[in-house]
Amino acid sequence: MNSIESINTNQYVLFKLDDESYGIEIEYVKTIEKITNITRVPNTKPYVKGVINLRGEVIPVIDLRERFGLPIRAYDNDTRVIIVSIKDFVIGLVVDSSSEVIHLNDNEVDNPPTIGETNTVEFVKGIGKKDGNLIMLLNLKKIL
């Protein structure tokens, strides 16, 4: 008797904040851009850095370091803005660097830990395991 198991595979765009790896489902990523001039918008939360003009489209930008409560770091040549779209809402996420796209099977993803009460944990929907590394898979709906 043959049995066919169905294993779902998802693709994730990887990026770094400090030395930690994070992943966003590729279906939400429109493009990855180098950091550019950001125009401040008054009366916004500190992690909302402002807006950018991306090929004629004005896009709000948030700094994920500040959103997660990590120490602020100056932008450099590795800094990237990941443009994501979720439910017709387009936003840029400032990250330290972006590296690659990976595939993760369902059996390579665990539930997030339930320890602590930091803001970061609520943004994590799973922990990916690839080549001995752990990748925090983000829940974009919670971040936005």
pLDDT for the residue numbered 8: 80
For residues 96 and 79, give the distance between their C-alpha atoms in angstroms, rounded to a whole number: 5
Write out the chain's pLDDT in tens, 144 residues: 444 556 688 999 999 999 899 999 999 999 999 999 999 999 999 999 999 999 999 999 999 999 988 999 999 999 999 999 998 899 999 999 998 999 999 899 998 877 655 545 678 889 999 989 999 999 988 887
133 CB-near residues (< 8 Å, 6+ apart): 21
For residues 107 and 112, give the distance between their C-alpha atoms in angstroms, rounded to a whole number: 14
pLDDT for the residue numbered 122: 76
pLDDT for the residue numbered 82: 97
For residues 121 and 112, give the distance between their C-alpha atoms in angstroms, rounded to a whole number: 7
For residues 5 and 113, give the distance between their C-alpha atoms in angstroms, rounded to a whole number: 27
